[in-house]
């Protein structure tokens, strides 16, 4: 067994729009959020579902449901398959029938979302690479820790800081030696007050860079508001329908579809103003 611990964790909430195809649309959304490894869970209502499972001989079998069904449980994982993000979804579905409530389960090969909410836990410091298995139709995800070279250089400055304190004591012991030999013992207390000003003279030099925080007061970020126009790196030209400071809803000019985007995932450039209409225009790019 291979156990890999992950400490770089993000939690994402994905809401699918009506008519979006699974799992392709979910994989695309996770790739835009830079979520390349993790686990999935969710619930919703699906239509035109194709499920895969295995029979008694271990052979792959599929069935299709061309009617709305309730997904009471959806689980899965996120991994990389080649250069793209791959998503595996497994669902337990229920449906009303003339004989009562029917339950089916299996891997979602394809489906159309009517209403779906997915909770994704992204593991940013672990690489999951999907590997095919000839004995099973399900692919296995092997975990590989990402190399981290940062902890090693951090341990080096600690031993370097320790040898510095021992250096002053030998200098103090060497100073009184010549002074005690020439005069009488009463002159011995004189070196101690003379050495005192040397220590405080070095201390004021450290706290001098206090004026650096003043530079951050000019960093004021302006967010799009209702009625503004934006150029999204993926959705193109859009109009802002609403904004609550954390998420904004955009309406695409090309087809009128409404998109909801988290502001924390975007890099917002300073706006420009159209002199004819007076509307502000923002450029939204992916934050790395």
Kindly state the average pLDDT of the residues 202-206: 49
Per-residue pLDDT of 47-59, as tens digits, reads 999 999 999 988 9
Does residue 246 have a pLDDT over 60? Answer: yes
- Which residues are registered as beta bridge partners of 261? 248
Kindly state the average pLDDT of the residues 170-196: 49
User: Do 45 and 70 meet the contact criterion of CB atoms below 8 Å apart?
Assistant: yes
Query: Which stretch, 20-34, 212-226, 265-279, has highest mean pLDDT?
Result: 20-34
Q: What is the largest CA-CA distance in the chain?
A: 114
Kindly indicate the confidence band of residue 121, based on its pLDDT and cuts at 50, 70 and 90. Answer: very high
pLDDT > 70: what percent of the chain?
68
Name 74's Cβ contacts closer than 8 Å, sequence gap at least 6: 40, 41, 42, 43, 44, 89, 90, 91, 92, 108, 116, 118
222 or 211, which is more confident: 222
């Amino acid at each position: 067994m291979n156990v890999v611990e992950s400490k770089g964790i993000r939690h994402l909430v994905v809401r699918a729009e009506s008519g979006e195809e699974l799992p392709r649309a979910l994989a695309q959304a996770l790739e835009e959020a830079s979520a390349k490894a993790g686990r999935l869970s969710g619930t919703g209502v699906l239509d035109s579902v194709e499920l895969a499972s295995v029979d008694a001989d271990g052979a792959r079998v599929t069935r299709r449901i061309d009617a709305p069904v309730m997904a009471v449980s959806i689980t899965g994982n996120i991994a990389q398959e080649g250069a793209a993000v791959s998503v595996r979804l497994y669902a337990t579905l229920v449906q009303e029938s003339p004989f009562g409530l029917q339950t089916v389960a299996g891997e979602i090969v394809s489906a159309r979302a009517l209403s779906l909410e997915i909770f994704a836990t992204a593991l940013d410091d672990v690489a999951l690479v999907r590997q095919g298995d000839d004995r099973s139709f399900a692919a296995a995800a092997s975990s590989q820790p990402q190399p981290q070279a940062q902890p090693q250089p951090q341990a080096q400055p600690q031993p370097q800081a320790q040898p510095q304190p021992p250096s002053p004591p030998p200098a103090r012991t060497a100073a009184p030696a010549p002074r005690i030999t020439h005069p009488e013992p009463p002159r011995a207390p004189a070196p101690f007050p003379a050495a005192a000003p040397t220590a405080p003279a070095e201390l004021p030099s450290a706290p001098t860079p206090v004026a650096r925080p003043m530079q951050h007061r000019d960093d004021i970020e302006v967010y799009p508001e209702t009625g503004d126009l934006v150029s999204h790196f993926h959705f193109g030209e859009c109009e802002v329908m609403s904004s609550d400071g954390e998420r904004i809803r955009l309406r695409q000019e090309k087809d009128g579809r409404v998109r909801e985007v988290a502001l924390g995932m975007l890099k917002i450039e300073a706006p420009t103003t159209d002199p004819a209409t007076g509307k502000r225009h923002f450029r939204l790019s992916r934050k790395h």
